[in-house]
Structure 1
Amino acid sequence: MSALSDEATAGSGVASAHHGPGRLLGGLARRWLRLGGGLLLGALTAVVEVTYLLGLGSVLLAAWTRPHGRQQTVHRIVDWIEVGARHLAEVERWRLATFLGCENAADYSGRRAVRYLALRWTVGLLGGAVLLLFGWGVLAGGVWVWEALHGESSPPLLLGQFVLALLGLFLVVQGGLGAVALDRRLARRFLGPSSREVLERRITELASSRAGIVAAVDAERRRIERDLHDGVQQRLVALGLLVGRARRSTDPAKAAELLRQAHEETGRALDELREVAWRVHPTALDNLGLADALARVAEAAGLPVRVDCRLTVRPPRTVETAAYFVVSEAVTNAARHSRAGRVDVVVHDGEGRLTVMITDDGVGGADPDGGGLSGLARRVAAVDGRFEVTSPVGGPTRIRAELPCG
């Protein structure tokens, strides 16, 4: 048991397992490749967009100067422009979601799509210019390295080239990040959800979370009734029988033995009552905080559990309670069903939310729609959080919950 407690408080081991140098560098490389691919594709689509707008704009201008049938022709060309702009905007939405991680709504009008493209092509060409600068830097760096290897550069020149390379790399990184930020902001401005869609989404979320809360409360009530009936009530019935037998007994020694058994039964009934109360709301959350409550979960898990809990501030009570039950239920499921040999729990806060990640090395195949996991999803949705389960057959199983702290 002490070994489990030590593992529960060993945060550094989990941090190194989840954030090794190789994995961190690999993740950064994949991120930059994805962003670079998004900028490159955005530069290509920008050329198509500006060509499209200029071409049909010229046609529109020519139609506007016609003396006869001008109004109908102009309306027809405007409709063509808006339809084509929506198709191009859909390509941009796919690019933003795939490469830049920016999801946008699909309820924008054709006119908003035209306005978006009229500004976006400048951002796309800016991203292309950043990539060209990066390519020139790589080419120049290769030439400098070749000159250095062949002894054609003096030390002062090498130092100057190194400083210039660092400056160029800084400009490329900042320029690329700036172009990505502009691309995302422009898409949110013109392709983002309308106020009506935002309201409809919110109504749907509230209706879903309300139904989930009702179902979770009903399931919790049934579980408490079952625990009281099968556990505490049986203990109390046995206690009553022992006390009754002791009262009817005429043998003092036998009566004393029955009272001793009744006293022990009282202790077991109190222990089960505390367990029921703990499952309703663990008092350690109020007295000790989330980190210590999770350490107790790790100690009682029955398998090695490592907890890395790094909180800068104490979260609200509802968020803290939801995080505790997510970890507790996930660890219990891993111990009972996944045949796991180890469970890693990482809890940290930042950017206005509390993130909980539970990973086990079991057999996987967990059903997100099962009773336990769906109950956790409802509990997380009740506080406007997000809940994800990844459990391929063969493992590992990863459960992630993001809980807003604002």
Structure 2
Amino acid sequence: MTASSEQPRARRRGPRAMADAVVRAAAGLVLGAATAAVEVVLLAVAALLMAYALAFSRGQRAVPGIVADGARRLTELERRRLALLGGSGDGGYGPLRALAYLVLRAPVGLLGGIILVLIGYGAAMAAELAVSWWITGDYLDGIPPTWWIVLYTAVVGLVLLFVAVQGLVGVAALERAVARRCLGPSPLAEYERRIAQLSVTRAEVVDAVDDERRRIERDLHDGVQQRLVALGMLIGRARRAGDHERAADLLKQAHEESQRALEDLREVTWRVYPAALDGEGLRAALESVAERSVVPVAIGYDVPGRPPHAVETAAYFVVCEAVTNAAKHSGAGRVRVEVAGSATMIGVRIEDDGAGGADPSGGGLAGLARRVAALDGTFAVHSPPGGPTVITAELPCG
């Protein structure tokens, strides 16, 4: 068995992921400026149509169908665009909420467009100055620039660029805030959803505890108890044996059986809760899982500091159960475990090269899902026939 501490692929892709996020955010802001102009036109037409509807329908149809349909389509477009900026709405809104969102969102999009135009204008001016100073020699008033003029212009340009970029960051944050306020659930609905979720997870935790107790009872009954019964029978036979050599042989068998009973008891207690998790932390406990596994297990661990105790426990049992399933049921030849995260979130990923076909609703995996849900985490199993089986869990540390 091998336990290797390897650098997770997430960290190696850090600079690329950051560059990708910047490109996506820039594309989202550019698209937002374009859609804002369309939304202004729609809102102007909507104002006229709604005024007409209020005047001639006696208030029975405040939002005409064409306005409601246009507002919904544009709002759905904005929700997809917001994914580029790291936000979204919940999708549960009517035409009035969609119109309210567009009314608040259109000025924000136009502001982003103005900042982008200013950045483009500044870049064009900087290019023109550079060409005139160092390529064409077409100086202002025919006088070549001195070093302090070049330095002054560069410093002012960098300061203005910094201010413009911060403005774009603020526009992106404002976009997310407007969507969350207008398209997200109300505080009362959010509280009700949270209460319902806590009620479900509390019931699931009780079920998970009961399942764990039944598993411990089964392990004790089928393993340790049977060996102790055999041990008692061997000792009884040794006491009744009239032959000294026969008694000595039976006592030797009893001693071996007692050693096996102790090993089974250690295995049961280790599965109930490993002592290394309290003393040395999650990494040491995972390395002990790799050492005990009958298939090679590679451990990649990149977690700053030590996570909360409940998070460590949940992550450990996710890895332990997944490795045990891979060894017993999938016929895997190797297992790779990656644990990575930050001060706010821990991610666990277990992949094996077995036959696949794992059932997420099975007792072990369903118990893990309930354990993770009790911490407001997410749990997923992807195991197509033929493999590979990938089990992931995300555990918040807050």
Structure 2 CA distance for partners of 1:262 and 1:137, relative to 1, 3 Å: farther
Amino acid at match of 2:216: I
Count of matched residue pairs: 387
Pick one of 2, 9, 30 that aligns with 1:40: 30
Partner deviation per Cα, 1:126-185 (whole Å, 9 max, x = no partner): 222233234345545655666687475978366556545543543343222211110000
Instruction: Compare 294-303 and 75-84 and name the one that shifted more.
Output: 75-84
Superposition pairs of residues 161-200 of structure 1, within 5 angstroms: 162-164=154-156, 166-200=158-192
1:100 aligns to what? 85
1:303 aligned to 2:307?
A: no
Pick one of 69, 90, 96 that aligns with 2:76: 90
Q: CA–CA distance in 1 between the matches of 2:42 and 2:133?
A: 47
- Does the Cα contact within 8 Å between 1:290 and 1:320 map onto a contact in 2? yes
1:285 aligned to 2:270?
A: no
Q: CA–CA distance in 2 between the matches of 1:259 and 1:147?
A: 101
* Percent of pairs with identical residues: 47
2:114 aligns to what? 129
The TM-score normalised by the length of structure 1 is: 0.80
SS in 1 for 2:89: coil
Q: CA–CA distance in 1 between the matches of 2:136 and 2:266?
A: 79
Amino acid at match of 1:184: R
Pick one of 17, 24, 32 that aligns with 2:14: 24
1:267 aligns to what? 259
**Shift, 1:363, TM fit:** 5.9
1:369 aligned to 2:360?
A: yes
Q: CA–CA distance in 1 between the matches of 2:326 and 2:351?
A: 7
Question: Which consecutive residues of structure 1, in runs of 5 or more, have no partner in the other structure?
Answer: 65-69
- Does the Cα contact within 8 Å between 2:319 and 2:350 map onto a contact in 1? no
Structure 2 CA distance for partners of 1:369 and 1:399, relative to 1, 3 Å: closer
SS in 1 for 2:57: helix
Superposition pairs of residues 326-341 of structure 1, within 5 angstroms: 326-335=318-327, 337=330, 339=332, 341=334
SS in 2 for 1:128: helix
Structure 2 CA distance for partners of 1:24 and 1:264, relative to 1, 3 Å: same
1:117 aligns to what? 102
**Shift, 1:366, TM fit:** 5.7
Amino acid at match of 2:7: V
SS in 2 for 1:14: coil
**Shift, 1:272, TM fit:** 0.6
- Does the Cα contact within 8 Å between 1:389 and 1:398 map onto a contact in 2? yes
Instruction: Compare 267-276 and 25-34 and name the one that shifted more.
Output: 25-34
SS in 2 for 1:184: helix
1:322 aligns to what? 314
Q: CA–CA distance in 1 between the matches of 2:178 and 2:238?
A: 82
Structure 2 CA distance for partners of 1:388 and 1:179, relative to 1, 3 Å: farther
SS in 1 for 2:24: helix
Q: CA–CA distance in 1 between the matches of 2:352 and 2:132?
A: 52
Amino acid at match of 2:106: W
Structure 2 CA distance for partners of 1:202 and 1:73, relative to 1, 3 Å: same
Q: CA–CA distance in 2 between the matches of 1:338 and 1:173?
A: 54
**Shift, 1:276, TM fit:** 1.1
SS in 1 for 2:88: coil
Structure 2 CA distance for partners of 1:145 and 1:243, relative to 1, 3 Å: farther
1:357 aligns to what? 348
Q: CA–CA distance in 2 between the matches of 1:402 and 1:265?
A: 43
- Does the Cα contact within 8 Å between 2:307 and 2:343 map onto a contact in 1? no
Structure 2 CA distance for partners of 1:237 and 1:77, relative to 1, 3 Å: closer
Instruction: Compare 210-219 and 261-270 and name the one that shifted more.
Output: 210-219
1:51 aligned to 2:36?
A: no
Q: CA–CA distance in 2 between the matches of 1:60 and 1:140?
A: 45
SS in 1 for 2:233: helix
Partner deviation per Cα, 1:216-248 (whole Å, 9 max, x = no partner): 344434432332233212211221221122111
Structure 2 CA distance for partners of 1:358 and 1:290, relative to 1, 3 Å: same
**Shift, 1:350, TM fit:** 1.8
Q: CA–CA distance in 1 between the matches of 2:120 and 2:386?
A: 43
Superposition pairs of residues 225-240 of structure 1, within 5 angstroms: 225-240=217-232
- Does the Cα contact within 8 Å between 1:349 and 1:355 map onto a contact in 2? yes
Question: Which consecutive residues of structure 2, in runs of 5 or more, have no partner in the other structure?
Answer: 138-143
Amino acid at match of 2:190: V
Q: CA–CA distance in 2 between the matches of 1:34 and 1:396?
A: 31
Partner deviation per Cα, 1:315-346 (whole Å, 9 max, x = no partner): 14x33321210122233345553735452422
Amino acid at match of 1:26: R
Q: CA–CA distance in 2 between the matches of 1:151 and 1:299?
A: 71
SS in 2 for 1:19: helix
Q: CA–CA distance in 1 between the matches of 2:209 and 2:85?
A: 40
- Does the Cα contact within 8 Å between 2:49 and 2:64 map onto a contact in 1? no
Q: CA–CA distance in 1 between the matches of 2:127 and 2:387?
A: 44
The TM-score normalised by the length of structure 2 is: 0.82
Q: CA–CA distance in 2 between the matches of 1:299 and 1:154?
A: 70
2:141 aligns to what? none
Structure 2 CA distance for partners of 1:402 and 1:348, relative to 1, 3 Å: same
1:67 aligns to what? none
Structure 2 CA distance for partners of 1:130 and 1:211, relative to 1, 3 Å: same
